[in-house]
Every structure is written in C-alpha cells, then in structure tokens.
Structure 1
Amino acid sequence: MPEGHSVHRIARQFDRNYVGRRVMASSPQGRFVEGASLIDGRAAASVRAVGKQMFLEFEGDLWLRVHLGMYGAWDFAGEILVDPTIGSANGRMGQTNQRGTDLEGDPVFDAAGENSLTSIGAPRRTRVHVRMSEQTTGLADEDDQWPPPVVGQVRLRLMTDITCADLRGPTACQIQDPDEVAATIAKLGPDPLVDDVAEGEERFVAAVRKKATPIGLLLMDQAVVSGIGNVYRAEMLYRANLDPHTPGRDVPEELVRGLWRDWVRLLSIGVETGQMMTMDDLDPDAYRRAMAHRDDRHWVYHRAGLPCRVCGTEIVLEEMGARKLYWCPVCQR
C-alpha cells in the first residue's frame, strides 16, 4: 500500500502540473463516469494530501477525493514539471523516473519500483509515454502518441493540454463538497506535513496513551496518526526498540513522543527521496545501495528469517491487523 510520503509527492505533482489549469476528465473504465462529468472542463484550484488520502479541488467547490488503498496508483504522461521543493539542499531531486534516483552522478536503479516520476503508488510496470520538460531529465521522441493510449483499467483520466494522469485501482475515488471533505479529514489522525507538529504530537500521545490496543496496531490506525503503513510501522517500532504487542497505554510517554518525532523525520525523508529510507548514518556507498535496493534500506521489513542487523537474532514474521509484521524479539523487548 502506498504510504504517506507517496501521497504527499503525488499532491505536489498535481500542484505543479494541474492547479490553475483547466482539466478534461473521463472514466475510460466506465466506473466513474458521473463523477468525471462533474469536474470535466473545470480548472483545478488547489490540492492537499492528508495521510494516505489526496483531495484535489476544482472550481465550483467540488473536490476529488482519492484513497489509493492497496493497489491504486497514478500514472503520469506528457510534460511533467518536477516540484523544485522535492530535493535536498545540494540540488538532488527526490522525484525521479523509472530509471532510479540521481545521486550526484550516475542514476541508481531501483528494481522495486517504489520511486517513480511516471507511476506513483502501488509498484507496477506500465506502458506510459513521457515527454519530459526542461525541468526534468530529458525529452522523449517526437513521435510519441498524444494523448497517450489508455492501457488497462483506468478509473479516471485527468488531462490538461500537455499532461495526463491516469488513476488505476483506487480504494476510493469520489466527488465531495467542502463539508464532506472537512468531515473526512476530521476522522484522520495528525499528519506532520499538514498539522502543527507540536499540536499533532499532543494529539498522537493522547490517542495512544488512552488505549489498550497494541502499539503495532495503533500505528496503522489512520484515526490515531495519518500516513503510516506496513513498512514504516515495522521500521519505527524497531528504531524505538519497542515490542509491537505493548498496549498503547503501557508505552512510556517519552517513547510515544519519540515515535511521533521519528515519524516527522522519516516522512520528510520519504517525501524528499521518494524512498522509505529508515536507516541512518550510512556512508555514501551504503546509501547508494539502500536507495537502489529496498532490502538495503530497512532494519527489519521484509527480512523474515534473516539475522537482525544489530543482535543477529532471526527476524520474526507474524500477522498483525491482517498485515505482515516484521520485528526482532531481542532488540524489541
């Protein structure tokens, strides 16, 4: 499932390429014809991401709400202007194409497909024709077909005269009015990139400390905190040396605060790099390997049966909340 960093990157891409432009909307799949007709021909006015959900505003007080869920993804084609705020102070851009991440030199190839300019969401291979703008890495052949052909089950296609975005496989895709948007967001826990960080910390601490629910479930509860998914859950619990089965109310307050502050940091890194990078203080070679390969950028996630990187104990895999949980029974006790 795409986690919070991906959705914030998607929102920034829409802000850069759609906001202020008139949009043609259609539903090639046929499952969102009525909704597409309501926004067809309207200009996009603003966009925001909260946790794993994105809200794209159109003139006339209409909002498109999208929750990608387990299998959803946005595929972009046409001229793609990269958001200049996604990158580090040394000029590296976190937004990349399928070829990988540019780290002051040759591209780093990511076989997992987590970091993509042309497809953001569930990793997938897709036929997308991309004509890159001057702000990106190159130009495609002049004979690329425009508009791009519809490939597969496209729930919603949003087009300007130069950019196309195809939505596939979302859990939710609906039109809302401002009151419905507010009601949806009110049900979500704090998001460090949306809410005041200090206020968000207090909300998170209060929500966790009053519940007997295991902390491993609370971190995945979008009403407690927004944006954390299966990867970040496992990694944050390991980084905190915290047993995932500990009831929330039994987790020391300072440790709960530490979880929130770690999420603030990891989410920012994820938005900048496009990767769920959870290992710190890597040397340049190790960092390059980590950016290229998922298995080199995590402490415990996807490492069932392998030795813990710290203590050597075999990493445990179990099911919690109908999702796979990876953890170290020695470091996290």
Structure 2
Amino acid sequence: MPEGHTLHRLAREHQRHFAGAPVHVSSPQGRFESGAARVDGRVLLRAEAWGKHLLHHYESGLIVHVHLGLYGKFTDLPLPMGAPVGQVRMRMVGAEIGTDLRGPTACEIYDEPQLRSLADRLGPDPLRPDADPTRAWRRISKSQTAIGALLMDQAVIAGVGNVYRAELLFRHGINPNRPGARLGAAEWDAMWLDLVALMKVGVRRGKMHVVRPEHDNGEPAYAKDRPRTYVYRRTGSACRVCGTPVAHSVMKARNLFWCPTCQPV
C-alpha cells in the first residue's frame, strides 16, 4: 500500500496540473458515476493529502476523497486521452493533461462534516504543516501496545506504512516490541523529526531513501527500482551496520523486520 509521501506527491502533481480551472470528471467504469457528475465541470480549488488519503476540493464545496488501498493507481495521459483502457473508476481531464484512476479502495464524494470526521479519526501527518506530534505522543506514552504496532495505527500517526515503520525504528535503535509507554519523550522527539525529514525526501524524490550515506553500500536493494533499506524485506541478510542476520516476524498481520543486535529488547 502506498505510504503517505506518495499521496502528498500526488496531491502536489494534481494541484499543479488541475487546480484553478474547470476539470471534466467522469467514471468510465460507472462505479463513481453519480459522484463524478456532481463535480464535473467545476473548478478544482486545491488538492491535498492527509496520511494515506487524497482530497480534491472543488468550488462547489464538495470534496472527492480517494484512498488508493493496495491496488489503486493514477495514470497520467496527454491530451487527447482516447478511450479508457480497463476499469477506470475516475477520469480527470484538465486543460493540458488527464489522469485515470484505477483500483482504489475508495473514491467518493465528501462534504465538510465528513471531512472533519475523517480528520478527527486520523493522527498527525508528518508532512502537513499543521501536524502536532504531541497528539501522537499522548497516545503512545500511555499505551502498552508495541511501538511497532502504534506506528502503523493511522489514528496515532497518519501516513506511516511498513517501510517507514521498520526503517525508523532501526535508525533509532528501538525494538519494535517495546511498549509505547516505555518510549522516552526525547526518543519520540528524535523519531518524529527524523520521520518528517525522511518523508519529505520521499515526496521530493518519489522513493523512500532511508539508509544513511555511510551505510548505502554492500548488498543491493530488495528490488531493482528501490533504494536500499536497513531491514525492510531483508530477512536473514546481514545488517548493514553490525552484520547480524535481520529478523522477521508478523505483527498484527503485517511483516515486521528488525536487527536483534542494533534493536535490542
């Protein structure tokens, strides 16, 4: 599932390509037909992201809410776009470019009360200027839940996924099974600042760069088109810092990776 930096990058692209002008919105697949009709031809005022949620604000006061889920993807196409290919949930056509959305978990119309309800359910997003890390800290500091699970809880922090979870904990030497209440305030402050910096790099470069320059060598990344990671998807491989085999387990149905030496219990 795309992590928060991907949604913020999409929001920036959509702001650049579509905002400030009328947008033709349709649903070739038909599943978003009524919603598309409500914003079709309206001026897109702004696009923004909150965690893993993309929000298109139209002049009518209506908002298109998109959650990509595991399979959702936008595909940009030059004009004229031609006939849709495959199951296109939403097509947006602007003055200079168009984009097709396929396979999202959600593509729906929100009004302002629904948006407020979504915001109330989500924790602070490290990439939003209005993010308040103390909101997350209040939850973490009182919880006996493992920090590895808390970081993935979108009600605690919005936008963190499996890669940022694994790599952030490694970078700060914190075992993923440590209860949140046993995390120190100074540790949390350092983690938050690091997370903000890492996710901003992800937005700027389009990929998650999490390995420090002095460790960015040796065994290649887990996939050809991905930068190296410290522990994510490196089960059994030597830790890039100490050489200990990277460990793997499952936490709340998600794969968990860590170094037993660099992240002691």
Instruction: Bin the TM-score by the shorter chain.
Output: over 0.9
Write the letter of the residue equivalent to 1:231: V
Query: Is the partner of 2:160 in helix, strand or coil?
Result: coil
Q: What is aligned with 1:142? A: none
Find the partner of 1:328 among 255, 259, 264: 259
Query: Is the partner of 2:99 in helix, strand or coil?
Result: strand
TM alignment of 1:238-253, pairs within 5 A: 238-253=170-185
Residues 1:157 and 2:91 are matched in the alignment: yes
Residues 1:73 and 2:4 are matched in the alignment: no
CA distance in 2, matches of 1:186, 1:319: 29
Backbone CA RMSD of aligned residues: 1.9
Write the letter of the residue equivalent to 2:176: P
Q: Provide TM-score, normalisation by structure 2.
A: 0.93
Q: Provide TM-score, normalisation by structure 1.
A: 0.74
Shift of 1:265: 0.8
Query: Is the partner of 2:109 in helix, strand or coil?
Result: strand
Residues 1:307 and 2:241 are matched in the alignment: no
Q: Which fold has the larger relative contact order, with Cα–Cα distance below 8 Å and residues 6 or more apart in sequence?
A: 1
Deviations 1:291-326 (A, max 9, x none): x94565210111111111112111112111211111
Find the partner of 1:319 among 226, 250, 259: 250
Contact 1:157 1:164 in 2 (8 A): yes
Deviations 1:33-79 (A, max 9, x none): 11111111111111111111111011110100111111111111127
Write the letter of the residue equivalent to 1:191: D
Percentage of matched positions with identical amino acids: 44
Write the letter of the residue equivalent to 1:11: A
The count of corresponding residues between Structure 1 and Structure 2 is 261
TM alignment of 1:193-208, pairs within 5 A: 193-196=127-130, 200-208=132-140
TM alignment of 1:73-112, pairs within 5 A: 73-78=73-78
Contact 1:155 1:167 in 2 (8 A): yes
Q: What is aligned with 1:263? A: 195
Shift of 1:161: 3.5
Q: What is aligned with 1:31? A: 31
CA distance in 2, matches of 1:29, 1:248: 44
TM alignment of 1:124-273, pairs within 5 A: 146-196=80-130, 200-273=132-205
Residues 1:3 and 2:6 are matched in the alignment: no
CA distance in 2, matches of 1:296, 1:13: 22
Shift of 1:282: 4.8
Shift of 1:196: 3.6
CA distance in 1, matches of 2:126, 2:227: 26
Contact 1:77 1:148 in 2 (8 A): no
Shift of 1:195: 3.9
